[in-house]
Chain A
Amino acid sequence: MIESLLSAQLLFAAAVLGALYALIGLGLNLVYGTMRLLNIAHGDILMVGAFAAFWWFTLTSLSPLIALPLIAVFGAAIGLALYFALFRHQLAQELDASVIEGRSLLLFFGVSVVTQNVTALLFTATPRAYRHLDEVYRFGDLAMTGNRIAALVCAVTLLIAMLIFLKKTLFGIEIRALIQHREAARIVGVNVEKVQMVAISIGFAVTAIAGTLLSMTEQTNPFMGFRFTIAAFVVIIIGGLGNIRGGIIAGFLLAVMEIYAVTIFSAEARSILIYGGFVLAIILRPQGLLGVRKRA
């Protein structure tokens, strides 16, 4: 068993899964960190990205990877639309964080229900799938399907790009400032409104991209999103709400647990281990395994 634990195959599986978990966690964290919005419709945005990719491929026979920028813009547009319609007003009132969190939860739940069912009305609930980049490449003991490599590469690239963006660019720094301490950020002259818009655009864009990457390997249907919403929340809680870097690490950590813990114990215990770990994590260290106790 030790050999299999050290195998490159498991590592690859954990890497791909981790990169995806990290990506969906990132999207959620950006939105929560800057605005305290609990996006329960997160997985449904992913679903929208997946459907966009499916239709792109079906109608143009071109790789959805080419369409990534387009899909990202589409995702961002949805984010902005929701921002203007639902949240701008409330955020401007500078209400207590817990009120915003509570309300956003419910608002996004409404958005989730609407998104899923509008999609079902438009495309029916029948699952869709397509074949793309499915050649398998083998290097010794390691086998990798093309679309999984592509997903890994795209996801990791995007994660690195995001980290650089947050560290080096003005908007990135402003986003981090807003996440760390809203009041202080405002005092030093950050245009809160604009930064929020950027944050939600990027958050939703990243999520839509994740959906596209997933659509290459999984079947797409209007109700597929919820699973990923749960996964995203597990990731950001373990990493610490609003903690971008923590979320990324947590994404990989969760994948590691999923792959390696299952190898050690059994596949049957998978969900119990994950949810059990999750529940324990919230109870024992609600600021996240990697977070610092934040000021409210």
Chain B
Amino acid sequence: MNRKQLLGLAATAMLVSAALPTWAADPVRIGYTMARTGLFAAAAPSQEQAYELWRDQVNADGGLDVVGERRPVEFVSYDDESDPAKSAQLYERLITSDDVDLLLAPWGTPHHLNVAGIAEQYGFPIVGNTAASVAIREVQPGNIWFPTSAIPDQIGPELAAMLGYSGITSVSIISNVLPFSQENLSFLTPALKKAGIEIRMSENYPPDISDMTPLIIQIKAADADAVLALTYPADAFLYMGQARELGVEADLQFLLIGPTIDAFGKAFGPAADGVVTLAHWSPEQSAWPRAKPFFDAYVAKFGQEPDYLDSALAYMSVEILQQAVATAGLDKDALRAAITDGTFDTINGEVRFDGVQNSVTPTAFVQRQGDKVQLVWPKDIATAPLQ
């Protein structure tokens, strides 16, 4: 080709390369597994989407800060088929064969418990998130941390306290037979008795129940001040619809899991007003400046609201990791020390760990008020009064 063409080519090449984002640095590879198929497939997206949002935000911002050096974030992820054992095995693979720099947590308590063993075995720190069982207290501190405060042995007494404060003197309880519901029931029942709150009825139901009319008729007949439905998402929908239909009147209705899901608000709208549930985060908390932006970004990217419990926890865990990496880099020992001793600024306010547990965030409850979800208990982080 002639000289002119050569010059033109060179100019084009320079222009093009100037226009491309130049990643001079190696990407930071972060691994995790997620329940993309199987029993938990409907619940896991709320967590994975929070991860993805974070990754996109970090990369758009110039990359992850690794002690001053900016590097792009790349995920290496697998489907764990909702099988906790498989999850542990895949984490082993991520560590030994895929050689990832960092790890994020999978979805769900059983997965966390299994992965904790791997973290311990390889000395690889992982910030957990969506695990909520007293079993996590039995986990060896060292390489895994649980930012959640929604632990059954705290939920029981806190709920009893909140009920007592609201002047509730009697409750009706219905509970799914699945583990999280039953674990909560086992702590709730003595806590209520201790607070002097009368338990007018307490019934269990199987997870595949299709119609709660008989149960709800019982609830109406018991006519307690409050109704505590220890539900999983599917039965939460069923309960809400049927309780409304039958006109359950209570000063307070509490659902264990369900109301924080985007689809719940969409299904019931104003009918879900006043429902109280588990969560320790709300975008309405102005003391946490990062909360609302996260909420808005999530809605903008996914067209749905984040899950007030799972999505928030997932995002918190990556924020913690991000801040730890900024000061400690990628060295496992340094990271471990940074997470153990550090104080972190998250969308849920300040987080600090005492052993495996979050020592700052209290066990809290939220309530749907209008089309917002407000923190209502405990008083010092409440964004709105309990109604």
Residues of A at under 8 Å CB distance from B?
4, 7, 9-10, 13, 17, 117, 120, 124-131, 134, 136, 138, 143-145, 148, 217-219, 221-223, 227, 231, 255, 258-260, 262-263, 266-268, 270-271
Contact = CB atoms under 8 A, between A and B. Distances in A.
A263 B233 contact: no
B266 A9 contact: no
Give chain B's interface secondary structure class.
helix
B42 A268 contact: no
Top-9 shortest CB links A-B: A129-B267, A13-B213, A267-B205, A129-B263, A263-B214, A271-B206, A125-B41, A145-B245, A268-B204
Contacts of A221: 41-42
A270 B217 contact: no
A80 to B, nearest CB: 29
B95 interface: no
Given A13-B213, A127-B263, A145 B241 contact: yes
B368 to A, nearest CB: 14
29 contacts: A4-B217, A10-B213, A10-B217, A13-B214, A17-B210, A125-B36, A125-B41, A126-B45, A126-B262, A127-B263, A129-B266, A131-B269, A134-B244, A134-B268, A134-B269, A134-B271, A136-B245, A138-B247, A144-B245, A145-B244, A219-B263, A231-B210, A258-B211, A266-B204, A267-B174, A267-B205, A268-B177, A268-B205, A268-B206
Nearest to A272: B206
Contact of A266 (B44, B203, B210, B262): B203
Given A13-B213, A127-B42, A267 B244 contact: no
Nearest to B205: A267
Given A10-B213, A10-B217, A218 B304 contact: no
A279 to B, nearest CB: 16
Nearest to B46: A126
B203 A267 contact: yes
Contacts of A124: 45
Interface in B59-85: none
Among B36, B37, B304, max chain A CB count under 10 A is at B37
Contacts of A7: 217
Contacts of B221: 4
A217 B241 CA distance: 7
Nearest to A16: B211
Contacts of B211: 13, 17, 255, 258-259
B219 to A, nearest CB: 11
B234 interface: yes
Contact of A268 (B203, B244, B245, B304): B203
A267 B237 contact: no
B209 A127 contact: no
A126 B261 CA distance: 9
Contacts of B212: 267
B9 interface: no
Interface residues of B, number: 42
A128 B241 contact: no
B238 interface: yes
Given A125-B41, A131-B267, A227-B208, A267 B247 contact: no
Contacts of B264: 129
Contacts of A128: 263, 266
B246 interface: yes
B215 interface: yes
Contact of B213 (A126, A131, A259, A268): A259
A144 B304 CA distance: 30
A221 B43 CA distance: 10
Contacts of B217: 4, 7, 9-10, 263
Contacts of A138: 247
Given A17-B211, A219-B263, A125 B42 contact: yes
Contacts of B266: 128-131
A271 B208 contact: yes
Interface in B206-261: 206, 208-215, 217, 221, 233-234, 237-238, 241, 244-247, 261
A270 B263 contact: no
A207 B264 CA distance: 25
Interface in B99-113: none
B245 A258 contact: no
B26 to A, nearest CB: 31
Contact of A125 (B45, B234, B244, B267): B45
Nearest to A128: B263
B237 A129 contact: yes
Nearest to B269: A131
A127 B205 contact: no
Given A219-B237, A271-B206, A126 B42 contact: yes
B50 to A, nearest CB: 12
A217 B37 CA distance: 24
Interface in B183-204: 203-204
Contacts of B214: 10, 13, 259-260, 262-263, 267
Contacts of A136: 244-245, 247
Given A13-B213, A268-B206, A127 B233 contact: yes
A126 B304 contact: yes
A186 to B, nearest CB: 40
A127 B261 contact: yes
A292 to B, nearest CB: 29
Given A9-B217, A131-B266, A219 B36 contact: no
A223 B269 CA distance: 24
Contacts of A126: 42, 45-46, 262-263, 304
A281 to B, nearest CB: 18
Nearest to A117: B37
Given A9-B217, A126-B304, A129-B264, A218 B44 contact: no
Contact of A9 (B213, B267, B268): B213
Given A129-B264, A219-B233, A268-B205, 16 more contacts: A127-B42, A128-B263, A134-B241, A134-B271, A136-B245, A143-B247, A145-B245, A148-B245, A218-B238, A219-B263, A219-B267, A260-B214, A262-B214, A267-B174, A267-B215, A268-B203
